[in-house]
Amino acid sequence: MWIKETVKKLTTTYKTNDPFEIASAKNIIVFEKDMHEEIMGFYKYIRRNKFIFVNANLNDDTKIFTCAHELGHSQLHPGISTPFLRRNTLYSIDKIEQEANRFAVELLMLDEDLYQLNDTNLTIYDAAALYGIPDDVAHLKKY
């Protein structure tokens, strides 16, 4: 539940669930950059400065999800560089990536928004699609 609590604190403090607005309010610099199609984005911490890079070639929903995912890294794993771990160690980053995905899902699909959909026949996957969340991570929502 610590991820949901982290999201709740952020959305309460900044009165938004927009990852770009939260990043800006927290002085995290977000760049859209032309990157290889396999790279959606990444988070970097350099000399007390935080950066989120988002692939400029993504569609708008995927950019928002990617920013939310990378914001998750900045909040949940501020000193960890997953590209470094992937390149230079045998450490599995699966858990770290799963936590960042869960953060993004919780941030973009708030409980109070889902409660408004209670009287519909929508599945969690249908609801996720409304919020631009990929099917393969929709199951991470704790509701």
What are the contacts of 7-13 at 24+ separation with CB within 8 A?
A: 7/103, 7/106, 7/107, 7/110, 10/75, 10/107, 11/107, 11/110
Flag whether pLDDT at 85 surpasses 70: no
Residues with Cβ within 8 Å of 21's Cβ and at least 6 positions away in sequence, in order, are 14
Q: Are 64 and 71 in contact (CB under 8 A)?
A: no
| Mean pLDDT computed over every residue of the chain | 90
Q: Name the fold adopted by 2-132.
A: Arc Repressor Mutant, subunit A (1.10.10)
Residue 1, number of CB atoms within 10 A of its CB: 7
Of 60, 65, 43, 64, whose CA–CA distance to 52 is shortest?
A: 43
Instruction: Note the pTM of the prediction, 2 decimals.
Output: 0.91
pLDDT single digits (tens) 41-69 = 999 888 889 999 999 999 999 999 999 99
